[in-house]
């Protein structure tokens, strides 16, 4: 149950809004952080918290692509396939990932580690091809970089190749 475990955080979220329903997305995120996806049980609990009906929660939850209504792998790889990334090779990137992970877009690897998705624009058009893995962006990807990222994630659960605070081009003509 979310309430028992996250009472303080839930209260803090609710305090931001004069109308309870506004807390719906933040609470759905909380549920997703907790279980990796949003279960029906969590949606019912959130409905109770916000005095909404379960269908009201469901209708919102089904609108947004970032809310997973079924389990995904430990690392959710989301590759941008929109035009700006496609111009600089996102289709090739998807091919590499399918080959390296041995799965197709929309599938999860057998060990439950990786889910591969194709998504629309992630707002990183000048640094494509790129992908988002869980909370982090990985940009200007090359095959070598992809290999390192996958190895890092398998070994350490994190990779130093993720993007920090974004700026491109970097200040003072640093490496292009």
Partner 1 sequence: MPKHEIILLKNMMEPGYTGSLKDYEKAGGYQALQKVLGKVAPADVTTMVIKSGLRGRGGAGVATGGEWTFLPKDYQGPKYLCCNADESEPGTFKDRQLMERDPHQVLEGIALACYAIGAETAYIYIRGEFVLGSRILDKAVAEARAAGYLGKNVLGSGATIQIHVHRGAGAYNFGEETALLESQEGKRGQPRGKPPFPATSGLYGKPTVINNVETLANLPHIVNRGPEWFASIGSPPKSAGTRIFCVSGHVKRPGNYEIPMGTTLRELIFEQAGGMRSDKPLKAIIPGGASAAFLTPNHLDVKLDFESVAQAGSMLGSGGVTVMEEGTDMVWAALRLMEFFHHESCGKCSPCREGSSWLVQTLRRILAKRGRMEDLETLVQLCNNIAGRTVCAFGDAEVAPILSTLKYWRPEYEALIREAEAHRAHELPMAAMRH
Site residues, partner 1 (CB under 8 A): 16-19, 21-26, 28-29, 50, 59-60, 63-67, 81-84, 86-88, 119-128, 132, 135-137, 163-169, 171-172, 176
Measured from the CB of residue 134, what is the shortest distance to partner 1 in angstroms? 8
Nearer to partner 1 by C-beta: 49 or 97?
49
We find the least distance from the C-beta atom of residue 101 to partner 1, in angstroms, to be 21
> How far apart, in Å, are the Cα atoms of 4 and each of 1, 8, 10?
6, 9, 10
Task: Provide the β-strand partners of residue 161.
Answer: none
The nearer residue to partner 1, 73 or 76, going by C-beta atoms, is 76
Half-sphere exposure of 34 (CA within 13 A, CB side): 19
- CA pair distance 18, 154, nearest whole angstrom: 43
Tokens of 62: 């089904």
Q: Which is nearer to partner 1, 105 or 119 (CB)?
A: 119
Three-state secondary-structure class, residue 19: coil
Q: Where are the alpha helices (DSSP H) in 107-142?
A: none
Nearer to partner 1, 62 or 102 (CB): 62
Closest distance between partner 1 and the C-beta of residue 102, in Å? 26
Nearer to partner 1, 147 or 168 (CB): 168
> How large is the C-alpha radius of gyration of the chain?
18
Least distance to partner 1, CB of residue 82, Å: 5
Compute the least distance from the CB of residue 176 to partner 1, in Å: 6
Q: Measured from the CB atom, is 100 or 152 closer to partner 1? A: 152
DSSP labels, 30-91: HHHHHHSS--HHHHHHHHHHHT--HHHHHHHHTT-TTS-SS---SEEEEEE-SHHHHHTTHH
Smallest distance from the beta carbon of 110 to partner 1, in angstroms?
27
């Amino acid at each position: 149950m979310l309430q028992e475990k996250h009472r303080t955080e839930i209260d803090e979220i609710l305090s931001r809004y004069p109308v309870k329903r506004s807390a719906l997305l933040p609470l759905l995120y909380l549920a997703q952080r907790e279980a990796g996806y949003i279960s029906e049980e969590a949606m019912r609990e959130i409905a109770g918290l916000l005095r909404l009906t379960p269908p009201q929660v469901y209708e919102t939850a089904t609108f947004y692509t970032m809310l997973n209504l079924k389990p995904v792998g430990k690392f959710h790889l989301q590759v941008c396939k929109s035009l700006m990334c496609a111009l600089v090779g996102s289709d090739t990137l998807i091919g590499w990932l399918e080959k390296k992970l041995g799965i197709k877009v929309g599938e999860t690897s057998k060990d439950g580690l990786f889910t591969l998705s194709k998504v629309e624009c992630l707002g990183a058009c000048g640094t494509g091809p790129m992908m988002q893995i869980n909370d982090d962006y990985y940009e200007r990807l090359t095959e070598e970089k992809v290999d390192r990222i996958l190895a890092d994630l398998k070994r350490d659960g994190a990779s130093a190749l993720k993007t920090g605070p974004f700026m491109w081009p970097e200040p003072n003509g640093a490496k292009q």
